[in-house]
A and B are shown apart, each in its own frame.
Chain A
Amino acid sequence: MGDFFELQTITKTFGSYKAVNHSTITIKKGEVFSLLGPSGCGKTTLLRIAAGFEQPDEGRVILDGKDITALPPNDREINTVFQNYALFPHMTVWDNIAFGLKIAGRSRSYIKSEVERMLDMIDLEEHAYKKPAMISGGQKQRVAIARALVNKPQVLLLDEPLGALDLKLRQRMLLELDRIHDEVGISFLYVTHDQGEAMSLSDRIAVMNRGHIEQIGTPVEIYEAPKSSFVAAFIGDTNFLESGKVVKQFADGYCNLKLDGFPDVICYNDNNHAVGEPVVISVRPEKLRVSFDEPPDHQYHNKVRGKVEDIIYFGSETKYFVRVQDYRLSVFQQNIHFLLEERQIKWNDEVWISWHGNDSYMLQRYTPEDEHLLAVPDPQAK
C-alpha cells in the first residue's frame, strides 16, 4: 500500500495569520488518518485545502499520482462530511443523498438503486422522505455520511463529524463509522480535537499545533512515545518534571537526571539527549504506582516519597494528587481490590510513588504558548 493521497508542504496564510505552515501528510489507500489538535491549530484549514475550498499559498495536493491542487471542489473525487452536517434543509433525506448523483447526471434507475443501498447501509429507510429538521442528530450524521459516500469518492473527509453529538451517541457513531469504513474500504481523513475519537478510529494520527504537524504515528506511538511536550500534554494526562538535566548516560539507553525540587530519576533516553542538555520529563499518571510500603529496589525503577493532597474517586479508578517536594503528581490507580484493601489511602497519608524508567519520556521543554496544556495547575506554584 503506497501513498495515495498527499498534502505536500502546504502553507496557507489568512492576512498576517499563518494557519498552516509547511505541513505534509500522506495517506495510504484504505487508511483512516486523523488530524488531531486544539481549535485554531490549522487542521480544518488543511481539510478545506484537501477538499478544494481553499487554495494553498504553497504546496501541492496529490490524489492517486495526479496533482489536483488547482481543481475546484466539484471536480475532485473527494467528498466531505461537514461539521454541522450541512444537509440541505429544503430537501428530503432521499433528495439529499441523491444530490451528488443527480448533479453527475446519473440515470434515474442508478440513482434509485444507489440511494436505496445507502439508506440500507445507514439503516434509515423509513425516514427517507423526511426533511432534515425532522430527524435526530445521529440520523443527520448518518445521512451526511451516506450523501458523501454515494458518490464513491476516493477519499472521504470528515470534519469534526461527531462534535455536535452527546457522549453516548458519539460512542455508538464511532463504532458505526468503523463499520462503514470496513464496508467501503476507502481512505478517511478525519479531523477532530477529540483524542478519544482519533485514538479509537485511526490507523495513524497527525497531531497539529499552531499550524504545523508535531508528530505523525499510530495511536500507540503517539501515546506511548510522544515526540514533543505538546503531544504528551495534548494526548491524555501527563506529569511534567521540568528543569531536568542529563548527568550520566548508560550504554543500555538509560540515563540519570538531576532535577530542581525533585529527587534524581532514571529515564530511558529515547531521543538521545546529550549530557548536560536541559529536558522535561513526562510521566503519565497511570504509569505511576502508589503504595504505603516501600517498593523493592530495582535497577531501572524510580521511587519517591510524597504526601497525598487530594483524592478524586471515579469508581473504576481513583486519581491521587501527591506532593513530592516542589511537584504535585497526579496518579491514576485502578480500583482492583479497593474495598478489600486493609488500609485505604487517605488525605495527608505519606506514600511511596514508583515507576519504571522506560515509562517516562525526556522531551524538549514546551514553549510558553503551550503552558496552558499542563494537565493540572499546581495551586502552590509560584
Chain B
Amino acid sequence: MKRSSAPAWTTVLVIVFFYIPTLTLIIQSFNSAKYGGGWQGFTLDWYRKLMHEREVWRAVQNSLWIAAYSTLGATTLGTLGAWMLNRYKSKLQSAHYTLMYAPLMVPEILMGISLLMFFVNLGIPLGLPTIILAHITFCVSYVCFTVMGRLQDFDDSLIHAAQDLGAQWPTIIWKILLPLLGPGILAGALLAFTLSIDDFVITFFTSGPGSTTLPVYIYSAIKKGSLATINALSVLMMLVTFTIVLVSNHFINHKKT
C-alpha cells in the first residue's frame, strides 16, 4: 500500500519555515552593515560592542534573579497544589482545580493588565517584587499540571508499604516521594524557569523603572531600531539555551538507558 508523501513534504516545509528566520538572524549578527542590509563583510564588532553595554548585563542580572525567585515560589506552590489535587477529590479541590486551570485559558495580556490594575489599586510601586509576584502566578499552573502528570503514575501503595515498614512522614517524603517525584518536580521547575526568563508581555506591564529584564530590553532596542547589537545578543542567548537543551536532552537520554 503506497502512503501519501504529503505529510513528509509538509514536515520538511515546516522545518524550513522554522529555520530560515533564525538562520538569517545568525548570519546578520556577523554582518558589518549597520542596519542589517546586504552583506558587507564579516565582523565581530557587534559582539564586542555588546560586551560593553552595561544595560544588557543589568537586564541579564534582573532576569536571572526574577527567574530564580519565581521558580522557587512557583515550584513550591505548584507541587503542593498538585499533590493536594491528586490526593483529594472534594468540592474544595474542584474549585482549586478551576483556579489552577483558568490562568492557562487567559491570554498573557489580560493577566498583565489585571495584575497592573491590582498593583496600581493597592498603591504597590512597580518593580522587581511585582514582576516576581506576577511570574510566580503564571508559573504555578504550569508547574502544577506538569507535576500532576507524574503524580498520576505514582503508586499510592508505596506510601502504605513504607508506613507498614515503620516509616514516618519525614522519612517517607525524603526517601520515597522525593526520589520518585523528583524528576517531575525538576521538570516543572525547569519549565517555570524558562517561562519566567522568556516572558515579555506580563513583565512589560508589571515592571517599573530600573527593573528592565532581558526581553524588555530587547523589545525597547527593537523599537529604537538598534538591531545590530541585539542580533548579536540574540545569537548568544540562543547559544546558551541550545547548549542547555542539548545537554539536558543528552543527560535524560543517558539516564534512561
- Co-complex (A, B): yes
User: Could you say which residues of chain B place their CB within 8 Å of the CB of A54?
Assistant: 1
Contacting A at CB under 8 A, from B1-21, are: 1-2
Give Cα distance in the complex from A73 to B1, angstroms: 7
By DSSP majority rule, is chain B's interface helix, strand, loop, or mixed? loop
Give Cα distance in the complex from A72 to B2, angstroms: 8
Whether A52 sits at the interface, judged by CB under 8 Å, is yes
Give Cα distance in the complex from A55 to B2, angstroms: 8
Give Cα distance in the complex from A54 to B2, angstroms: 8
Q: Please give me the residue from chain B that is nearest to A73 by CB atom.
A: B1
Interface residues on B, range: under 10
User: Could you say which residues of chain A place their CB within 8 Å of the CB of B2?
Assistant: 55, 72
By DSSP majority rule, is chain A's interface helix, strand, loop, or mixed? loop
User: Could you say which residues of chain B place their CB within 8 Å of the CB of A313?
Assistant: none
Whether A300 sits at the interface, judged by CB under 8 Å, is no
Give Cα distance in the complex from A101 to B127, angstroms: 68
Whether A53 sits at the interface, judged by CB under 8 Å, is yes
User: Could you say which residues of chain B place their CB within 8 Å of the CB of A55?
Assistant: 1-2
Contacting A at CB under 8 A, from B218-251, are: none
- Bits for A40-81, please: 1 = Cβ < 8 Å to B, else 0: 000000000000111100000000000000001100000000
Q: Please give me the residue from chain B that is nearest to A55 by CB atom.
A: B1
Minimum Cβ distance to chain B for residue A7 (Å):
16
Give Cα distance in the complex from A331 to B111, angstroms: 80
Interface size on A, residues (CB 8 A): 6
Give Cα distance in the complex from A54 to B1, angstroms: 5
User: Could you say which residues of chain B place their CB within 8 Å of the CB of A53?
Assistant: 1
Minimum Cβ distance to chain A for residue B67 (Å):
43
- Bits for B131-160, please: 1 = Cβ < 8 Å to A, else 0: 000000000000000000000000000000
Minimum Cβ distance to chain A for residue B24 (Å):
39
Minimum Cβ distance to chain B for residue A306 (Å):
50
Contacting B at CB under 8 A, from A288-340, are: none
Contacting B at CB under 8 A, from A229-253, are: none
Give Cα distance in the complex from A363 to B2, angstroms: 43
- Bits for B165-183, please: 1 = Cβ < 8 Å to A, else 0: 0000000000000000000
Give Cα distance in the complex from A52 to B1, angstroms: 6
User: Could you say which residues of chain A place their CB within 8 Å of the CB of B1?
Assistant: 52-55, 72-73
User: Could you say which residues of chain B place their CB within 8 Å of the CB of A73?
Assistant: 1
Give Cα distance in the complex from A370 to B133, angstroms: 69
User: Could you say which residues of chain B place their CB within 8 Å of the CB of A52?
Assistant: 1
Minimum Cβ distance to chain B for residue A135 (Å):
26
Give Cα distance in the complex from A54 to B3, angstroms: 11
Minimum Cβ distance to chain B for residue A30 (Å):
28
Minimum Cβ distance to chain A for residue B186 (Å):
35
Minimum Cβ distance to chain B for residue A19 (Å):
15
Give Cα distance in the complex from A305 to B2, angstroms: 63
Q: Please give me the residue from chain A that is nearest to B1 by CB atom.
A: A53
Give Cα distance in the complex from A114 to B1, angstroms: 29
Give Cα distance in the complex from A73 to B44, angstroms: 61
Minimum Cβ distance to chain A for residue B133 (Å):
44
Give Cα distance in the complex from A53 to B1, angstroms: 5
Minimum Cβ distance to chain A for residue B135 (Å):
41
Q: Please give me the residue from chain B that is nearest to A51 by CB atom.
A: B1
Minimum Cβ distance to chain B for residue A187 (Å):
22
Q: Please give me the residue from chain B that is nearest to A48 by CB atom.
A: B1
Give Cα distance in the complex from A72 to B1, angstroms: 6
Minimum Cβ distance to chain B for residue A51 (Å):
9
Minimum Cβ distance to chain B for residue A355 (Å):
51
Minimum Cβ distance to chain A for residue B42 (Å):
45
Minimum Cβ distance to chain B for residue A151 (Å):
18
Minimum Cβ distance to chain A for residue B4 (Å):
12
Minimum Cβ distance to chain B for residue A75 (Å):
11
Minimum Cβ distance to chain B for residue A315 (Å):
37
Give Cα distance in the complex from A76 to B5, angstroms: 23
User: Could you say which residues of chain B place their CB within 8 Å of the CB of A72?
Assistant: 1-2
Minimum Cβ distance to chain B for residue A205 (Å):
27
Give Cα distance in the complex from A110 to B2, angstroms: 32
Give Cα distance in the complex from A321 to B2, angstroms: 54
Give Cα distance in the complex from A55 to B1, angstroms: 6
Give Cα distance in the complex from A55 to B3, angstroms: 12
Minimum Cβ distance to chain A for residue B5 (Å):
16
Contacting B at CB under 8 A, from A249-298, are: none
Give Cα distance in the complex from A27 to B199, angstroms: 67
- Bits for A72-107, please: 1 = Cβ < 8 Å to B, else 0: 110000000000000000000000000000000000
Minimum Cβ distance to chain A for residue B253 (Å):
24
Give Cα distance in the complex from A145 to B220, angstroms: 67
Give Cα distance in the complex from A373 to B1, angstroms: 35
Give Cα distance in the complex from A284 to B253, angstroms: 50
Give Cα distance in the complex from A190 to B31, angstroms: 68
Give Cα distance in the complex from A169 to B238, angstroms: 59
Minimum Cβ distance to chain A for residue B52 (Å):
57
Q: Please give me the residue from chain B that is nearest to A52 by CB atom.
A: B1
Minimum Cβ distance to chain B for residue A47 (Å):
13
Minimum Cβ distance to chain B for residue A16 (Å):
21
Q: Write 8 A-B pairs (CB below 8 A) sorted by A numbering.
A: A52-B1, A53-B1, A54-B1, A55-B1, A55-B2, A72-B1, A72-B2, A73-B1
Q: Which residues of B are in contact with A by a Cβ distance under 8 Å? A: 1-2
What 6 pairs across the A-B complex have the smallest Cβ distances?
Answer: A53-B1, A72-B1, A52-B1, A73-B1, A54-B1, A55-B1
Knowing that A53-B1, A55-B2, A72-B2 touch, tell me 5 more A-B residue pairs with CB under 8 angstroms: A52-B1, A54-B1, A55-B1, A72-B1, A73-B1
